[in-house]
Amino acid sequence: MGSSEIQAEGSERHRGTGKLRRLWRIRQEWKLLGFFEINCGHEFYDFTCMLKEGLKAAVQEAMDNPRTADILNEADFTAVLKQAHKGFEMRTYAGPAFSRFRDFLGMVDSDYQQSLSCESAYLQFITNSKSTANFFLTNDKRFFLKTQSKREIRFLLSNLAKYFEHLERYPHSFLVKFLGVHSIIVPQEKKKYFIIMQSVFYPHERIVERYDIKGCQLDRWVEASLEEGSHIIMVFKDLNFEGKTICLDEQRAWFMHQVELDTQFLKQLDVMDYSLLVAFQPLHEDEQAINRTLANIIARTKRSLNPHSSLLHGGTEPTDLACLSSVMQYTSSADQISNYTGSSLHEFLAYYMLQKSNFDLHAGIADHNDFFQEALITYLSQASSCEQLPKTLSGMEGSLTNIADSCLRMTQNRRLLPDSRNPLHVIDGPEFRYFVGIIDLFTVYGFRKKLEHLWKSIRYRGRSFSTVSPSHYARRLCQWVEEHTT
């Protein structure tokens, strides 16, 4: 081979390497669209470094002193942990209560600590929001850190037990998941309070549209940014949503009911002006096919079946886990696409859960295994050709609808969670994956808000606005959901 050929080959290899570098750089920039790394020189760099150091120590305290009791007491909610660091003090509020809640969600504190304190820079979240709060995102984009006023923190802590109770009663709630409350004190500076939340829009990479919905009209339109290369993430509002729908098919009734449950809870707290976040992510054809695969349905059942399961990671009781693992032998083929609708599979789960409640809870794993297999195989083999349940089930009282209703009550309005890294805030339709969450839960309908309502009623007569009573606000948002879902 001549020297010219060697040079040509080397040049070609160099161009190929350069192209890969450019593609990698473009991909990294695309991942950071709407986010800015808070590196050295950024106005919040020193502050985020203090956050990382303080949060690492705070979570370590929870790991070193794990709770032994399952039931929280008043001391768990009033606990204040003070930790001194060089140049600042970090305070952690209701640490034991939040630690138990993270465990309830299936989160591992060592992973949580790693996300909050890793060497990679925090991200600043840039949107068109008018909020004056500071938003930070962990580098893996799993957790939001947001500054709050002392009044808002006091309100959250005073209602924390009720909040946890609602989430445990309805584990698939759309309410944003609060994971920690802290403050940071720097000499000669104002004390700063902040909360840590699970990100609703995670993972964000393929999200194409984001909306902040309040169910009203006044100031609910956003002009899209026309600047080329803009790094602002556009979050649109109610009037921008007109003409669009959230298509959920069989899951629509569940969705509407869960929004009703969540808004009724907020009404009881006398809260209004919260937002329903909705984001659209197109599903690829293979993802749509997987959602119809029987094996996928069974895997999702593992996430949803046990009322005390690890909600983020799909943990189950040992007996259910053995049953589900065994039945996967019958349903593990990747191309085994089921013709059963989501409704019929929910019906089977209803039947299984109702029967399981009457089953001998002290039976061995093998007995549970046989019971689950028989129930599943019998249902799937006969239900598609019979309008009613198989004869072996004919002794059960009530219709299949009544069974399903009983199951929903028993399972705390649970659903089949999707195979996602953020299953509690994700719900799949036929063509889109929707990210849904209810945020901004701190506005109480007090004297000032009542005066604001009176003034707006006169100033904007005939137009709907956000400052209304909690009962009106909840009812109106539920009506919006009913009108914009199919």
DSSP 219-247: T---PPP--TT--PBP-B-HHHHTT--B-
Per-residue pLDDT for 202 more than 70?
A: yes
Looking at every residue in the chain, the average pLDDT score rounds to: 79
Question: Which residues does 265 contact at the CB level (< 8 Å), separation at least 6?
Answer: 162, 166, 175
- Residue 69: band (very low, low, confident or very high) from pLDDT cuts 50, 70, 90: confident
Among positive and negative, which fits the CA dihedral 235, 421, 356, 69? negative
**pLDDT tens digits, 413-451:** 888 888 889 999 999 999 999 999 999 999 999 999 999
Most confidently modeled range among 173-182, 315-324, 325-334: 173-182
Most confidently modeled range among 6-15, 66-75, 340-349: 66-75
CB 390 within 8 A of CB 379: yes
Residue 95 phi/psi, 5-degree rounding, is -55, -50
Per-residue pLDDT for 353 more than 50?
A: yes
Per-residue pLDDT for 91 more than 80?
A: yes
Tokens matching residue 204 = 């964000």
Per-residue pLDDT for 368 more than 90?
A: no
Coil, strand, or helix at residue 386?
coil
Cα 286 to Cα 90, 426, 431: the distances in Å are 47, 18, 11
> At 132, which amino acid appears?
T
Give, as one character, the DSSP assignment of residue 39: -
CA 283 – CA 393 distance, rounded (Å): 37
Mean pLDDT value across residues 177-201: 97
Cα 321 to Cα 80, 130, 301, 373: the distances in Å are 38, 47, 10, 13
CB 414 within 8 A of CB 168: no
**Domains in the chain, ordered, with CATH?**
35-199 (3.30.800.10), 205-283+429-486 (3.30.810.10), 288-407 (no CATH)
Q: Provide the pLDDT for residue 311.
A: 54
Q: What is the DSSP string of 269-328?
A: TTB---EEEEEEEEPPHHHHHHHTBHHHHHHHHHHHS-TTS-TTTT---HHHHHHHHHHH
CB 276 within 8 A of CB 213: yes
- Which percentage of the chain shows pLDDT scores above 70? 65
- Residue 76: band (very low, low, confident or very high) from pLDDT cuts 50, 70, 90: very high
Most confidently modeled range among 284-288, 359-363, 412-416: 412-416
Coil, strand, or helix at residue 3?
helix
Lowest model confidence (mean pLDDT) among 26-40, 258-272, 338-352: 338-352
Q: Provide the pLDDT for residue 230.
A: 63
**pLDDT tens digits, 43-64:** 999 999 999 999 999 999 999 9
Mean pLDDT value across residues 136-165: 96
This prediction has a pTM of 0.76
Terminal C-alpha separation, the chain: 67
CA 465 – CA 111 distance, rounded (Å): 42
Residue 485 phi/psi, 5-degree rounding, is -125, 150
**pLDDT tens digits, 206-236:** 999 999 999 999 999 998 865 655 667 789 9
Q: Provide the pLDDT for residue 125.
A: 76
- Residue 73: band (very low, low, confident or very high) from pLDDT cuts 50, 70, 90: very high
Gyration radius from the chain CA atoms: 25
Tokens matching residue 234 = 């556009």
